[in-house]
Structures are given as structure tokens and as C-alpha cells.
A and B are shown apart, each in its own frame.
Chain A
Amino acid sequence: MQRERGAALTPDQRWAWLLVAAVCGGLGWIVATREQPMAPPAAATIVAPPLVDVAAQTLDGAAVRLGDQRGQVILLNLWATWCPPCRAEMPLIQAAYGQYRDAGFTVLAVSQGEEAATVAAYVREAGLTFPVWLDAAGAAGRAYQVRALPASIFIGRDGTVRAVYRGPLSRSVIDGTVVPLLAEPGGS
């Protein structure tokens, strides 16, 4: 009797079951494949060597050095305006900068091999408020062995390199890296 009932599903009932299965299966798949918020990213490769000091220029032409920023948690982001993933991660970096700046976090976005006018126009257009530097000769890229953009180097308050990510950052990666570094005691 039960088999007869099972076999007698109408097209409408079959469709309803299919809909329920699609919703449940879809939601299950979404939850199973969600990004793990604080998972250590696979691209982290360098652990705690000292910061390599590099010289650069501000967009106004002033000479600056990475070492002068020691004492803060630094996201050293090597990028270029022509690089789509670099542009794609900028809003996330800007949002993180706005959130953690007052806690001692800064971003140094060092453009690789580009002219000031090109970079300044993009910075204006994108509304970026963190420091953007120029590295016309690509010295920072060589110092940190970066061969593809974007690359992001996180530096702790003690002036050591704590994580290096190659490729675009996600917000959870930024948060998951910056928050523990901000919680550390300040370096000398």
C-alpha cells in the first residue's frame, strides 16, 4: 500500500520534493564550503624574519623609509594600478585601515614601477586614505622576493615580518592577521 502511494507521486509533488531537495542541498553546500573566517591561509610563507628596510617616495616626492614606521602593525602592500586583483583588494584594505587605524595599524601601499601621476589619479579616483608610496625601481619587490602582484607583507610592532600573502587578500585574512598582531605588546 505504501509502495503504491510512493509510486503515485504527481508531477506537482515530484517538483515540490525537487525544490525542497535543491534548497536543502544548496544551503548545505554553501555552509560546507563557506570561507573559514580565521583559518590560516595557505599562502603564508615567511615567519618572523626582521623587516627589510626599503626606501621609497610619497606621491609628493618626499623620501620615506619603511623602517621609520616601526612600532605599528604594518600591512606592506605591493601593487600596481594596472593589476586587476590589486585594485579589487583595495576597498577591503581601505575598510580595514579605517577600522584598525586608531589601534595602531597602518597600510603602506607601495606601487611598483609606476609614475606618480598615474598612481595619484587612481588614489584620488578610488578614495584611498592610507599612505601610498612609489617604488619606481621595484626595490621593495626585490627585497621581499615578490615576483607577482599583489603581495602583502604583515609586519608586527616588533619590526618582524609575520606573514606574507601572495595574491589578493580577503577581508577575513586581513582581520585574522591584524587582530592578533594588534593584541601583541608594542616593540622597542
Chain B
Amino acid sequence: MFPLLELGPLNLATGGLTLLVAAYWWSRRFERRAAHPAAADAAIAALVAAALGGRLAFGLTQWSLYGADPALFLALRLAELWWPAAYGAALAAIALVARWRGVAPAVLLDAAALALPWPQALASLGLLLSGDAPGQPTGLPWAVPMLGAARHPLGIYLALSAAALAVGLARLARRQPPPGRLAAAATLGQGLLLLLWEPLNAASLTTVAGVRVVQLAGLGFIIGALLALRPATRPAAGS
């Protein structure tokens, strides 16, 4: 585990490199799907917001360490990001750039959501390579030897789920739903993914009574997505 690429004096974690490749891949897919000049700005803003938001949330959840040394918030540690916060911050950044550039936010958000799952699947495999998000020990035949035990290959589960989300969103996109529906459906999928798989994460962050924080965020995504998917109220007859 933890394969490293040795480039001269640099030891680069392949998990981190996979994350960088996935981020670049997403931005290219997003810009191509949005087909709008504002998409390039939105992609950059989303990546910066994801990095800052993800790191800020990670630091707040690890306050005993980050509070003692706030410089850690800016340290080059690709794995120390909190995915729910990174996702939420990226969506907010895209919406803000869209408003700033006079584009309907839903148009860019839909393109961004549609572009995400395949790069997300790649990044999930990177988690497996880097040893982040190790699965719980299991006796199942497809367990992988990792950290001294046979464990659930959580990175593979997440990658397969992201691939399923990609297929589902592509099918939904072919039906040309109203603007914003794709982004809401994608957020619903992200929430389900967090809610369902987090119990298999051996390094899960917990709060009161052992409740997993990532699952609470996942439920928040689901509720937010359902609120966005609320059926439009039809005008009363005769009005």
C-alpha cells in the first residue's frame, strides 16, 4: 500500500496524484459540457473553493491538531480534505461565478454535476492506492489485504457507486430535464453514497453516541436535493 513515485528528491503519493488528475479531468469535462465561456472561470473557482472548503472543514474536525498549528490549513496535504464540504463549496462557487457572469446558475451546476462522477470514480480508486479511507475488516472473499487485515475495498465500492451515478445521470440528461434537476439528482446520489458506504470506513469521524459525521452530511445532501426537486406548483385554474 501507499505506493510512491520517486522523482529525484520528491516522493509523490500516487493517491494524491490521482486526485490531481481527477480534478483536471473534471474541469475539462465540465467546460466541454457547459459550452459556455464562463465555465472556465467557474471550474477554477470550484476547484479552489473545494480545496479551501474541504481543508477548512477537515481542520475544524481535527481541531486539536489544526488549532494548535493553524499553518496546517495551508499545508500541501492532498488527502486532508473533507469531501462533503469540498462538494458543497464547489457548488456554491459555481453558482456565484454564474451569477457574476450573468449565466443561469442551474446551467453550469448541471454541467458540473454531469461531469463529476467518472473523475470521482478515478479519485476513489486513488483512495484505495494511498491507503486513505481504509475499509472495515471483513471475511468476504473480495476483501483486500490492507493495514494488516483483510478489509472491505472501500475505494472500489465508492468507484463503482460513482460509475453507477454517472450512468444514471447520463440517462437522465438524455431526457433533457428542466435546468437544475441534474445537479439536484447528482447531489441526491452523492448523499446516498455518503450515507450508505460510510459505515464501512474504518477511519470514520464520529460525534455524539458514535454517529458518523459524514452520514449526517450525506443526509443533509439528500434533504437539500429533495427540496430542490420539489414539484413546481401549478397555477390555479382560471388565474
Contacts and interface: CB of A to CB of B under 8 A. Distances in A.
Interface of A: 11-12, 15, 18-19, 22-23, 26-27, 29-31, 33-37, 42-43, 82-85, 87-91, 94-95, 98, 125-127, 146-151, 166-168, 170-172
25 contacts: A15-B226, A19-B223, A22-B222, A23-B223, A29-B195, A30-B195, A33-B212, A33-B215, A35-B212, A37-B209, A42-B137, A82-B4, A84-B13, A85-B131, A87-B77, A98-B64, A125-B69, A125-B71, A125-B72, A126-B69, A127-B65, A167-B134, A168-B134, A168-B147, A170-B206
Nearest to A12: B231
* SS class, residues of chain A in contact with chain B: helix
B233 to A, nearest CB: 7
Contact of A35 (B69, B206, B226): B206
B57 interface: no
Contacts of A170: 202-204, 206
Query: On chain B, which size bracket covers the interface?
Result: 35 or more
Contacts of A95: 64
Given A23-B219, A167-B147, A30 B212 contact: yes
Contacts of B226: 15, 18-19, 22
A78 B105 CA distance: 49
A71 B79 CA distance: 37
A85 B134 contact: yes
Contacts of A23: 219, 223
Interface string B88-122: 00000000000000000000000000000000000
B229 interface: yes
Given A83-B131, A88-B132, A126-B72, A34 B210 contact: yes
Interface in B60-95: 62, 64-66, 68-69, 71-72, 75, 77, 79-80
A11 B148 contact: no
Given A26-B222, A29-B195, A167-B147, A84 B204 contact: no
A148 B1 contact: yes
B146 interface: yes
A113 to B, nearest CB: 13
